[in-house]
Every structure is written in C-alpha cells, then in structure tokens.
Amino acid sequence: MKAAIYHEPMKITTEDVPMPKIGDMDILVKVHACGICGSDLHMYRLGVFAEGLCRPSEGGMIPGHEFSGEVAEVGKDVSGISVGDRVSALTFGGMAEYVPVSPAYLGINVYKIPDGVNWVEAATTEPLANSLHATKLGNPADGQNVVIFGAGIIGLGIVQSLKVTGVKLNKIIMVDVSDKRLQMAKDLGADDVINAGKEDVYQRCIDLTGEVPVTILAGAMTSPDVHVVYDCVGYIQERPEPPVLQQVMLIAREYGKVVVHGAFEAPVTLEMMPLVAKHVQVLGSYGFVIQEDGARALELMRDKKVDRMKIVTHVFPIEKAKEAFDIQCQVDNSIKVVVTPINN
C-alpha cells in the first residue's frame, strides 16, 4: 500500500509499504481523507513530537491522525463495527491507504460517519472535537468578550463552536498575522479581527471591548474587558518575539480565563505578574473528551450547523504528501490541507 513516510525535518516521501495486519480487537480502515494537523507541522519543520505523531511501520514512520475511511476488515472480537462502515477514527498512521485501529471501540476511538457528511469533512472531526473541548473549558457567558489568537483549524473551529453554543457573546475577536485567515474568521462569524503584524493588539482590544480596572490594585493596572482568551498559537521556536501567551495574559481581564491549546516547541520565559494580579486562570487544553466531543463534532456537520469544507483549502493525492505539507506550512496560502490516500 502507499503511505506517507516521515524521515527527518522537511523530508516526507510517499512509499510502497507492507499492508498492516490486525489483531482480534482491531479494525483496518481504508483511508479516504487525512488532514495535516498543526502538530504535524512542528514535526515536519523541526522533528519534534515525531514519536507521538506517527505510527511506526515496517516501511517507516507514518504520520496522520485526522482521518476518515471505510472499514475494510474487522477483528473477530470487535463488536458494533462492520466491513463497509464509514468511520472517523483516532489513531496515528492515517496518511496511508490502510491504517489499523488497535484496539477499536465504537464511540470511544471509532465514530460512524453520519449520512450527508463527506470524507473530507469527516477527516476534520478530530480537530473540531478539540475546538469544542477548548471552547467548553473557556466557557464564556452571555455578554462577554472572547479573543482567539491563531486562525488555524483549531482557532477557526473555536469560532464555529462558539457560534453554536447558544451563548450570546458580546464580541468574538480573532487575532492572526494572515489577512486571508482573518477573513475566514470573519466569514465564520468573528465580529472583529486584528492583524497582529500590523496593529497594536492590546490597544485594539481596548478599543473594541473597553478598559476595566484591576480591583485589587485600586485601578493602578487595567486590561481590556475580555473574559476568555484562547491561545491557539503556542510557541514556535524560530520566531524572535515572546510567546503569544505573554500577550494573551495581558489581554485577559481580572478573574478571566486563558485557555492554552497551542503546542510549545521549547520552554518559555514569561512575565507572570499580570496574571497573578488579575487572578487569571490558565487552563491547558489538549485533545478532547471522547464520546462527548467526537460525536458532537459529527452531529454538527450532519446538521449543517458548521461548515468544515470552507476551511479546507487544498486536497492532494497521497503521491503529493510532501507538497501537501509544504503548502500547509505556508500560513498565508492555506488553511486546512487534506491528503486523499484512496481517490474519492
């Protein structure tokens, strides 16, 4: 079978590798679509997280964990899943014609794709579930302002998630350095956008939300009136500026929340006093609550409450896996890139 193989930073090839074998508790999925995750880019650029993001196989390290496909084989001890079922599953090595899901449990790491949801959309189940999970941790209330840093698949998914929570937010504000991605955030429902490469983010947040005092300091310190800030950027080692998290801490108001979803490529230095003085809670967010968020992501797509196809900018056959990664690295040229091992 064909598979994308990660070798070293900036080197991914498409190879013919042996077919995977499955055990009694496993299923084999014939992959129709597999997305490239932000975390995969950390691996591709620097080699970090590679062990955690690939399935080691006889043919090499196979990346890909956001995929959809058709069940091709079912182990004898697996229940509720049959050959031919359309599924979205959670495991690594999805950027290949076939991937073993081992072990396979329906509703835990295997979800059936509802009718009306296509392969490419279904491949975005995992990142949407991540966005739903992060959104819930922030849990903004009616009338509050929310700022999201990073208009990638997770940040944009948070915009989509916020729009379906039923909460009447005052403003959703997206911060990014790409006008193309900011435009997408607007299309998906962000009220305002800030280009961090061109504008003073802190000042713009005050202009958009107002300025509130920090009570304990008798007003000697202020902040924008932002209750929840989502950091979907993390830390990219080669960028000279401090981590986005530093700015995120300045923007959250007192008793506000910061939800950190981005990955950090290296340890960082932060000025913590703004956070301490403002009693800001910092919450890490990684992955999602199985069953709950995975199923909800597919329901939202089935009910056409979120349109994931809008975010998918490129689809490549598996032979062009390297090109797919290169395009995904071009922030201003792509949003979500999907590879199709089996031509749809």
Residue ranges binding Zn ion (CB under 5 A): 37
Least separation in angstroms between CB 14 and Zn ion:
21
CA distance 284 to 245: 12
CB-nearer residue toward Zn ion: 37 or 81 = 37
CB-nearer residue toward Zn ion: 37 or 173 = 37
CA distance 328 to 146: 27
Cis before residue 114, ω within 30 degrees of 0? no
CA distance 240 to 60: 34
Least separation in angstroms between CB 63 and Zn ion:
10
- Token pair 């995120």 is found at 248
| Structural contact between residues 87 and 111, judged by C-beta atoms closer than 8 angstroms | yes
CB-nearer residue toward Zn ion: 37 or 335 = 37
The full length of the chain comes to: 344
Give residue number: closest CB to Zn ion: 37
DSSP sequence for 149-161: E--SHHHHHHHHH
Residue type, 136: K
Least separation in angstroms between CB 66 and Zn ion:
5
| Structural contact between residues 246 and 202, judged by C-beta atoms closer than 8 angstroms | no
CB-nearer residue toward Zn ion: 90 or 226 = 90
CB-nearer residue toward Zn ion: 91 or 145 = 91
Least separation in angstroms between CB 130 and Zn ion:
7
CB-nearer residue toward Zn ion: 206 or 300 = 300
The kind and range of the H/E element at 209 are helix 201-209
Q: Which two tokens stand for residue 260?
A: 């950190």
CA dist 108 to 37, 88, 101, 173, 290, Å? 21, 11, 12, 33, 6
CB-nearer residue toward Zn ion: 37 or 61 = 37
CB-nearer residue toward Zn ion: 145 or 160 = 160
| Structural contact between residues 216 and 166, judged by C-beta atoms closer than 8 angstroms | no
| Structural contact between residues 70 and 30, judged by C-beta atoms closer than 8 angstroms | yes
Least separation in angstroms between CB 287 and Zn ion:
9
**Paired residues of 136 in beta bridges:** none
CA dist 208 to 68, 172, 197, 225, 316, Å? 40, 10, 18, 9, 40
- The CA R_g of the chain, rounded to the nearest whole Å, is 21
Least separation in angstroms between CB 31 and Zn ion:
15
Least separation in angstroms between CB 327 and Zn ion:
17
